[in-house]
Amino acid sequence: MGQTVHLSRQGETALIEIDNPPVNALSQSVRAGLLDALDQAEADPAIKVIALLGRGKVFIAGADIKEFGKPPQVPILPDVITRLEHSEKAIVAILHGVALGGGLEVALGCHYRVAFSDTRLGLPEVKLGLLPGAGGTQRMPRLTGLVTAAEWITEGKLVDAKTALDSGLIDDITAVASAQEAALDVAKNWKEGTITLRKTGELPNASVDTKALEKIRQRLLEQSPELYSPFRILEALEASCTLPLADGLARERELFFQCMDSPQRAGLIHHFFASNAIGKVPGSDAPVSITRLVLKGDHPIFLTLDDHPLVQLYAATSPGMEVWVETASEAAQPATVDVTVIDPDTDTAQTDQAFSLLPIPDSKWLELVDHREQPAVQQALMKVLKAAGFTIIPSKHRSIYRLLRASLKDSTEHQSSLETAALAAAQAGLCYRMSDIDVLAIETLGYPKHLGGPHFQAIA
């Protein structure tokens, strides 16, 4: 593995740059590299300002997903952030692209935060059944106030730079061209005395607002009473109002590990990985370029495709018409692919065709069934349909959606029926990954996301 943190000096400013593509995730090597670079910068008497920034398109997008579910590796992120906050030298964070989860918590431990206008910021850990475990629930309220922090963190909300500035979460929005320029600009302004640093942990506790917290708690009880982590987040936020920072951080960490031990965390993280995997068809490494795609059938999906600028349709106006979609081809052998669009309520899959496409009712989801196991062609088709704004579940031989939905007919046990059907779909070899069944059931048939999916539950 290459170096993930780089230290350079420009005059009296040290630039600490995170270089862990694609999203500068906070892996163990990054955490260790940050401490090493900080040690060097603090030991250099010529350095007055330390700027933290990310190389590439983002600042830090959060934790390293490869470490999910594994024992923590030192240095742990809370210790890194405490070191940043306690530094006697000025530490500024330059935020661009995104600053999410642990990335935003790192910024909160710095003494000044400046963002580019298109930066997105947030603490979305609740969506994985967790809470921010590196100071987010303790430091954000000191900047934004309790109510704003509670609403944003319990919802996992992402905000733009202007909203962050207006709330007090960041200190400025920069208009310069690069993160390095922004860092040097902030350093110059600080040395000239035109900006004031803020060590978040030294700010006063946010004011307790019992009525506002109770209102948020009631909203959560109405919208998602079955969820675990949002209510632990409220407990951590209450601690931020009443305890010194060190005690609040300890309470946050305790609640974080309670969430880690929750089955919901396992289910939501399973869904996270499963959702990221569905776009890849196993065995499709050899690319195929489609030069002519013929969609056959009568379905409103044709009108949707017709409106999309990335997809050129040559005929889609009459019921039953064929639709031709042309895509740029780099292949030596042009490929023509026929796909039959079928209504999952009424039509029967025509297995003599190479592919069937099922637009799933009341959603932007499609199921693309490969009847002849042509993974490279199926991957190319998914690329075209994704460009038209759809999310696609790939399957083979027969429709998973139809099998799952049929299990609900005349059934009063929604979850258990889907779990039984999910096992049947897996045993019949209709999916590339068992987790594809889980995503499909959650996104289109209402299976609870925090349970991970019917197949995940059935084998648990």
* pLDDT tens, position by position, 172-216: 999 999 999 999 999 999 999 999 999 999 999 999 888 988 999
- Model pLDDT for residues 125-141, shown as the tens digit of each residue: 999 999 999 999 999 99
With a CB cutoff of 8 Å and minimum separation 6, the contacts of 129 are 227, 228, 229, 259, 262, 264, 265, 266, 267, 268, 269, 450
Tell me the backbone φ, ψ of residue 142, rounded to 5 degrees.
-70, -20
Using the structure block, give the residue that is written with the tokens 């850990």. Answer: 125
Fold for the domain defined by 5-261: 2-enoyl-CoA Hydratase; Chain A, domain 1 (3.90.226)
Active site residues: 105, 125
How far is 290 from 288, CA to CA, in rounded Å?
6
Kind plus residue range of the DSSP H or E element containing 230: helix 229-242
pLDDT digits (tens, 9 = 90+) for 59-93: 999 988 778 778 889 999 999 999 999 999 999 99
Tokens, residue 138? 């303790």
Mean pLDDT of the chain: 88
What residues have CB less than 8 Å from 281, skipping those under 6 apart? 375, 376, 378, 379, 382, 394, 432
Per domain, the residue ranges of the chain are: 5-261, 286-458
Mean pLDDT score, 292-320:
53
Q: What share of the chain is helix, strand, coil (3-state, %, to 5)?
A: 45, 20, 40
Instruction: Return the pLDDT at 321.
Output: 44
Question: Whole-model pTM?
Answer: 0.86
Q: For the residues 167-173, what does the mean pLDDT come to?
A: 98
Whole-number Cα distances in Å, 242 to 153, 199, 249: 18, 19, 12
Return the ∠ at Cα 162 (arms to 159 and 166), rounded to 5°.
Answer: 95
